[in-house]
Homo-oligomer: A and B are copies of this chain.
Amino acid sequence: MSWIISDREYNKEKIESNGNKYLLANGYMGYRGTLEEYTKEQYTGCILAGLYDQVDGKWREPVNSPNGMYVKIYCDGESLTVLDNNLQEHNQSLDIKYALVQRNTIFAKKDNQVTIKSERFLSVDDVHLLCLKYSFTTTKNCKITIETGIDGDVWDINGPHLREINSGVTDDILSLKAVTNELQKQIVIAEIVEFDYGQQSIEQTTDKIFRKIELDAAAGAAYEFIKYVAVYTDNDKKSDLTQACLETLTGSSELGYAKCLARHKMIWAARWAKADIVIEGDPEAQLALRYSIYHLLAAAPTHTDSLSIPARGLSSQVYKGAIFWDTELYMLPFFIYTNPEIARNIVNYRINTLAGARRKAKEYGYRGAYYAWESQDTGDDACTHFNITDVFTGRPMRTYFRDKQIHISADVVYGIWNYYHVTGDFSILFEGGAEVILECARFYYSYSYFNRDTGNYEILDVTGPDEYHERVNNNAYTNLMAKYVVGVAIKVLGILKIENQQVYETLFEELDYGTDYVNICDYYENLYIPEPDSDTQIIEQFDSYFKLEDISIDELKGAMLESNEYLGGANGLATRTQILKQADVVLMLNLFKNMYSTQVKRANWEYYEPRTEHGSSLSSCVYAMQAAHLQKTDYAYKYFMKTATIDLTGDYKQYVGDLFIGGTHLASNGGAWLAAIFGFAGLELFEDKLQFKPSLPAGWKSMKFNLQIKGKALGVEITDDQIRVTAQGSLKVEV
């Protein structure tokens, strides 16, 4: 089965990682893959997309909803939970085809066995709805109590975010209301349970409302109940959130579980029809790639036109639920090529947060738009100047993610332009995209300095993708991206002038862009771009990088004093060496592969690959793509599998310093898709044609997928000896 993820036994060590592995999400919320009897101690969490809150100057992060899926069974007064060591059997599975989680547990009591089963999904038909089907049987007659309801005592990293919690019962519907701490946004969660046995009573405490259903269970009989849970917040712009919950619950209940599930499945099936990649000959890679696509589809915003996808998706409050450059570089291409409507929402998010980017530029004394390194609802930067705690002193360590990683604005422009380039959707430019691009171009001009000795602009004091080296000059990636932005801005002005003179003039005037147009034209011509060395062909990652100590990664690791000490920062072990955290020059060469010869790309891949520590989950897929491009198929496969399996194996850093960074890895998920399509299938989209240069891994008999390009649907099938492309209308394809 290439669609099922499962564990066949219980392992307490995996409580945290399985919460990510079995994650359900529907763009509106994520529900961690925890078990029904878990509470916040086991990191149960229902993360609400786009709803952020701050407490007492701590980090601002997304809000976890009260948990409406809580269920615990008591047998003869004794609670049944996997946390006690009385399990006879346990398995948990996720069907990624339909985003459905199941569990099956047999508790062995002294003289009785209790089997419980559950199945649950977060509806994609109604994103406010969570559904649970729960059943149990016992081998002996016994007294069973079902405890279920809403648990408002939620897991928070920087909480508590919920205040004024109060609960109520109306027509057998339990509800819990709360407001967030910072902005007093209301959250209402309500549940209804359908059952036809036993005696019910209601228990209310400060932050919980539970129903207890007591019954005399007959040996061998199956008892089932269905639970519907609805969540609304002030972000949904409903006049009455409670009423909205009631409508969702009663509507769902009338429809019934089976039909709710059928609708949910139908939408997921449609998603897969667009997005699936079918691999013949390698079931392991097939499952890992689909699992990656699953996470992208699950996190994708469909209910609103301006939400994006956080670095850890909807798996937790990690990284403040913030949107990083990961989204544009690693996730967005998947949507652009398979689901442009969702891609447009994600692009819109950046257009809608332009004001925040302008505020950030101003804060640091620059003009134009400097996007947030960690972006939330307003586009103001959630990133602080002190991100990591020094493990040796326990003190906050000054880091330069927020103020020096200026490539973020270019990454945003890359996302917009990539969307426009692939979809051909002009409107994105008229409707805010052009303004973002022009403001980002202005930002780079304003950030840069002119070197009168050389006659070049330089970009000083930045941190590139390789975050282990902070505050460097002329980072090759950053400089070329800045030039790209300015080039795009000049092109956009040309397009607008011809296509929409009015928007062009308004924009020019509103942004007072006259002088800056002249400025950026000069900047485009004279910005310094590090060139490949004439002997070695290697591009220096930044000024004086080659003067750093050239040690091996093993030597570096051997010098570590603490397993989770930060390798970057001013005094980090990697900082003084050539060891990099993640693809940097190689990322640049991958994005601009037609600007450089194969010789240059190969020389740089071979130079930087052994020096890359892959301390970021954004790294492997880039090495995979370039390796495939350079016909290094074994390396490509190795890095692809590392990328595609990260959330299956749980083999990632959970801590940097004392900072918890667990959760799902959406950029890796997107990276797996990128590696498959741009690496193995060798897709490249030019202005006038589509090109495939496949390089399938050994054992892959075929690779089959659909794309949407310039509004046209395209089917591609690649085998060892042929490439078959079927398309609506005409499209120039080169293979």
Interface residues of A (CB under 8 A from B): 365, 367, 386, 390, 392-393, 395, 397-398, 445-446, 449-453, 458, 460-461, 471, 519, 543, 561, 569-571, 573, 575-576
**Chain B residues with Cβ under 8 A from A398's Cβ?**
570-571, 575-576
Q: Which of B393, B460, B571, B575 contacts A569 (CB 8 A)?
A: B571
A515 to nearest B CB, angstroms?
10
A521 to nearest B CB, angstroms?
13
Provide the bound-state CA to CA distance between A191 and B367, in Å: 74
Q: Which of B450, B460, B575 contacts A450 (CB 8 A)?
A: B450
Number of this chain's copies in the assembly equals: 2
Q: Which of A395, A397, A445, A471 has the most B CB atoms < 10 Å from its CB?
A: A395
Q: Which of B392, B445, B461, B576 contacts A392 (CB 8 A)?
A: B392
Sample (14) of A-B pairs whose CB atoms are under 8 Å apart = A367-B453, A390-B392, A392-B393, A398-B571, A398-B575, A445-B453, A449-B451, A449-B458, A450-B450, A450-B452, A452-B519, A460-B460, A569-B570, A570-B571
**Chain B residues with Cβ under 8 A from A519's Cβ?**
452
**Chain B residues with Cβ under 8 A from A450's Cβ?**
449-452
User: Is the CB–CB distance between A571 and B395 below 8 Å?
Assistant: yes
Q: Which of B395, B451, B461, B561 contacts A393 (CB 8 A)?
A: B561
Known contacts A460-B461, A461-B460, A461-B461; A571 and B449 CB within 8 A of each other = no
Extra inter-chain contacts (4) besides given A398-B571, A449-B451, A450-B452, CB under 8 Å:
A367-B453, A390-B571, A392-B392, A395-B571
Provide the bound-state CA to CA distance between A406 and B617, in Å: 40
Provide the bound-state CA to CA distance between A397 and B392, in Å: 14
Q: For the complex of A and B, list the 3 residue pairs with the smallest distance between their C-beta atoms, beginning with the closest.
A: A570-B570, A449-B449, A392-B392
The secondary-structure label for the interface of chain A is loop
Closest to A452 in B: B450
User: Is the CB–CB distance between B571 and A397 below 8 Å?
Assistant: yes
Provide the bound-state CA to CA distance between A246 and B44, in Å: 90
**Chain B residues with Cβ under 8 A from A461's Cβ?**
460-461
**Chain B residues with Cβ under 8 A from A573's Cβ?**
395
Provide the bound-state CA to CA distance between A300 and B239, in Å: 86
Provide the bound-state CA to CA distance between A395 and B561, in Å: 10
Provide the bound-state CA to CA distance between A449 and B449, in Å: 6
A461 to nearest B CB, angstroms?
6
Provide the bound-state CA to CA distance between A461 and B458, in Å: 14
Closest to A390 in B: B571
Provide the bound-state CA to CA distance between A367 and B451, in Å: 13
**Chain B residues with Cβ under 8 A from A393's Cβ?**
392, 561, 571
Closest to A458 in B: B449
**Chain B residues with Cβ under 8 A from A571's Cβ?**
390, 393, 395, 397-398, 569-571
Provide the bound-state CA to CA distance between A451 and B569, in Å: 28
Q: Which of B446, B452, B453 contacts A453 (CB 8 A)?
A: B446
Provide the bound-state CA to CA distance between A393 and B392, in Å: 7
**Chain B residues with Cβ under 8 A from A395's Cβ?**
571, 573
Provide the bound-state CA to CA distance between A367 and B460, in Å: 19
Closest to A471 in B: B471
**Chain B residues with Cβ under 8 A from A471's Cβ?**
471
Provide the bound-state CA to CA distance between A703 and B386, in Å: 54
**Chain B residues with Cβ under 8 A from A449's Cβ?**
449-451, 458, 460
Q: Which of A386, A445, A576 has the most B CB atoms < 10 Å from its CB?
A: A576
A573 to nearest B CB, angstroms?
8
Provide the bound-state CA to CA distance between A35 and B478, in Å: 63
**Chain B residues with Cβ under 8 A from A543's Cβ?**
365
A27 to nearest B CB, angstroms?
39
**Chain B residues with Cβ under 8 A from A561's Cβ?**
393
Closest to A516 in B: B453
Provide the bound-state CA to CA distance between A471 and B403, in Å: 14
Closest to A576 in B: B398
Provide the bound-state CA to CA distance between A453 and B444, in Å: 12
A359 to nearest B CB, angstroms?
15
**Chain B residues with Cβ under 8 A from A452's Cβ?**
445, 450, 519
A511 to nearest B CB, angstroms?
15
Closest to A460 in B: B460
A523 to nearest B CB, angstroms?
9
A520 to nearest B CB, angstroms?
11
Provide the bound-state CA to CA distance between A392 and B445, in Å: 41
**Chain B residues with Cβ under 8 A from A386's Cβ?**
576
**Chain B residues with Cβ under 8 A from A453's Cβ?**
367, 445-446
Closest to A449 in B: B449
**Chain B residues with Cβ under 8 A from A451's Cβ?**
449-450
Provide the bound-state CA to CA distance between A451 and B365, in Å: 13
